[in-house]
């Protein structure tokens, strides 16, 4: 996500490295690189020009503290401006009403039906709502079937009427069905349409006017860059939508759409699609996105993802086992499953400050833990509970059963032993205090980076 843009911002700030102060000459040179980075990212030219002008004005008007380098100051100013460019604060979706009505609109192939399902799951799991999906795409033959399949998969009800060909009537019937059956949010999935198709654009206007939704969301593919922004502008002029769902952001290494939409259309991005799985829908936070663009990671989102999988009762049991030095391979395996539920491993690593650059070019697929899992699953229950039993003959059997080799088995056992020892030490406050003192003594009293 935003890989190319992050790299170019980093290169731009290196221009200031070694300079003791910000001058009109060196800041102009840096911002020339920043503007080039934004244009390469397919950001609107006017937006890129105004962005660098504001950064220059702020940079030249601000004194550089002795504890802050010119590069750090310019990074801070760019961060502030990036946040502002993407809308400033996170904007909430309005799903309140009796029922709340959310109208989904967008181009053909933008992912409206899939994201209608993702939004239904988000409302159900995160907001404790009872959503109803309404199939109003009467043109694409498989659209109604697709929505029913998604509904079954997500355990969300779907309303459809295959006999009716008027999307306005289907939407009204769906809302009436929701009111009569206790659903408190209705998501209207409409047909994809081209902005130049007058008849289809008139139809989405008719649907909106007839149902008066509490929220109208425009679904658009982030990877189409400036085309996404121009399309959003055209749709907004016709239906005056409330916000944007930006899909395929995980595959967007440029970031032009995310950076331009708010300025050009003056409508906020409310959600971003970050993967193919149905739970890969995230609230859009401008500040967190700016952090990631500038290589600062996104620790808050990482913690939130971890908390979603956190079971307090299980955590207390695990804490007790660690304190008693009884952490075993079953516990280790359970922790791997929790990490996998958090999402794509490479994306999670990119949320750690400084790791985005380190992960460039590294391919980590969703089966990253497959080898480890196979080794653990090839152990007997007794071996998983008592790793000390793992002698040479047992290791050979495990390697054969897991389709790995003896070196990989030995490596996992060694890493597990070191992890177990470290976790036990950290569970003891006295040991932890000693470790911290040792760390502070390292590197001439500087301590360890990031502690």
Question: Which DSSP string corresponds to 176-225?
Answer: HHHHHHT--EEEEEEPP--TT-HHHHHHHHHHHHHH--SEEEEEEEGGGT
pLDDT digits (tens, 9 = 90+) for 28-66: 888 888 888 888 888 888 888 888 888 888 877 665 554
| Whether pLDDT at 169 is above 90 | yes
Q: Same domain, yes or no, for 152 and 72? A: no
Give the mean pLDDT of 382-403: 92
From 296, 322, 356, the end of a domain falls on 296
- Does the pTM surpass 0.75? The reply is no
DSSP strands (E only) in 138-241: 157-159, 185-190, 215-221
Q: Same domain, yes or no, for 165 and 246? A: yes
From 264, 280, 296, the end of a domain falls on 296
Asked, for residue 13, whether it belongs to a domain, the answer is yes
- The pLDDT score that the predictor gives to residue 151 is 94
- Domain of residue 391 covers 303-445
Asked, for residue 170, whether it belongs to a domain, the answer is yes
Give the mean pLDDT of 222-243: 84
Q: What's the CATH number where 166 sits?
A: 3.40.50.300
Q: Same domain, yes or no, for 252 and 311? A: no
Strand partners, 244: 218, 269
| Whether pLDDT at 357 is above 90 | no
Q: Same domain, yes or no, for 53 and 133? A: no
Q: What's the CATH number where 10 sits?
A: 1.20.120.140
pLDDT digits (tens, 9 = 90+) for 109-118: 888 899 999 9
Q: Is the previous residue joined to 99 through a cis bond, with omega within 30 degrees of 0?
A: yes
Q: Same domain, yes or no, for 29 and 108? A: no
Q: Same domain, yes or no, for 39 and 152? A: no
- The pLDDT score that the predictor gives to residue 342 is 66
| Residue 310's pLDDT band (cuts 50, 70, 90) | low
Give the mean pLDDT of 213-237: 85
| Residue 442's pLDDT band (cuts 50, 70, 90) | very low
Strand partners, 269: 244
Q: What's the chain's average pLDDT?
A: 80
Give the mean pLDDT of 239-248: 90
pLDDT digits (tens, 9 = 90+) for 78-109: 888 888 888 888 888 898 888 999 999 988 88
- The pLDDT score that the predictor gives to residue 223 is 78
Q: Same domain, yes or no, for 188 and 135? A: yes
How far is residue 2's CA from residue 177's CA, in Å, rounded to a whole number?
A: 43
Dump the DSSP string for 279-330.
T-EEE--HHHHHHHHTT---HHHHHHHHHHT--HHHHHHHHHHHHTT---HH
Asked, for residue 179, whether it belongs to a domain, the answer is yes
Between 311 and 177, the higher pLDDT residue: 177
Q: Same domain, yes or no, for 107 and 231? A: yes
Between 390 and 421, the higher pLDDT residue: 390
């Amino acid at each position: 996500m935003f890989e190319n843009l992050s790299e170019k911002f980093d290169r731009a700030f290196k221009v200031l490295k070694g300079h003791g102060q910000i001058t009109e000459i060196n800041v102009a040179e840096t911002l020339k690189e920043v503007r080039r980075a934004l244009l390469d990212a397919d950001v609107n030219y006017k937006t890129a020009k105004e962005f660098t002008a504001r950064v220059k004005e702020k940079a030249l008007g601000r004194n550089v503290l002795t504890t802050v380098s010119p590069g750090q100051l310019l990074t801070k100013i760019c961060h502030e401006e990036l946040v502002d460019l993407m809308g400033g604060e996170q904007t909430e979706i309005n799903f309140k009403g009796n029922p709340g009505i959310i109208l989904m609109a967008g181009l053909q192939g933008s992912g409206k039906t899939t994201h209608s399902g993702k939004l239904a799951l988000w409302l159900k799991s995160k907001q404790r709502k009872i959503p109803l999906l309404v199939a109003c795409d009467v043109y694409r033959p498989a659209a109604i079937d697709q929505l029913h399949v998604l509904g079954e998969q997500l355990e969300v009800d779907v309303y459809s009427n295959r006999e009716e060909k008027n999307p306005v009537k289907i939407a009204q019937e769906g809302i009436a069905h929701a009111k009569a059956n206790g659903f408190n949010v209705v998501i209207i999935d409409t047909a994809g349409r081209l902005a130049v198709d007058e008849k289809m654009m008139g139809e989405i206007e008719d649907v909106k006017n007839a149902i008066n939704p509490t929220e109208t969301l425009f679904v658009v593919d982030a990877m189409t860059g400036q085309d996404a922004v121009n399309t959003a502008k055209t749709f907004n002029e016709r239906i005056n939508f409330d916000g944007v769902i930006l899909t395929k952001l995980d595959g967007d290494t440029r970031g032009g759409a995310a950076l331009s939409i708010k300025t050009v259309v003056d409508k906020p991005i409310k959600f971003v699609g970050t993967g193919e799985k149905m739970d890969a829908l995230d609230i859009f936070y401008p500040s967190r996105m700016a952090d990631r663009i500038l290589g600062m990671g996104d620790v808050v989102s990482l913690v939130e993802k971890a908390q979603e999988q956190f079971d307090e009762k299980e955590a207390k049991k695990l804490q007790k086992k660690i304190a008693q030095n009884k952490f075993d391979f079953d516990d280790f395996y359970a922790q791997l499953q929790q990490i996998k539920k958090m999402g794509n491993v490479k994306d999670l690593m990119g949320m750690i400050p400084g790791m985005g650059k380190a992960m460039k070019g590294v391919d980590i697929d969703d089966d990253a833990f497959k080898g480890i899992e196979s080794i653990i699953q090839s152990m007997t229950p007794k071996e998983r509970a008592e790793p000390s039993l793992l002698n040479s003959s047992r290791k050979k059997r495990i390697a054969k059963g897991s389709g790995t080799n003896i070196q990989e088995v030995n490596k996992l056992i060694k890493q597990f032993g070191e992890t177990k020892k470290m976790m036990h030490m950290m569970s003891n406050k006295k040991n932890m205090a000693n470790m911290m003192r040792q760390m502070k003594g390292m590197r001439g009293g500087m301590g360890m980076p990031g502690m």
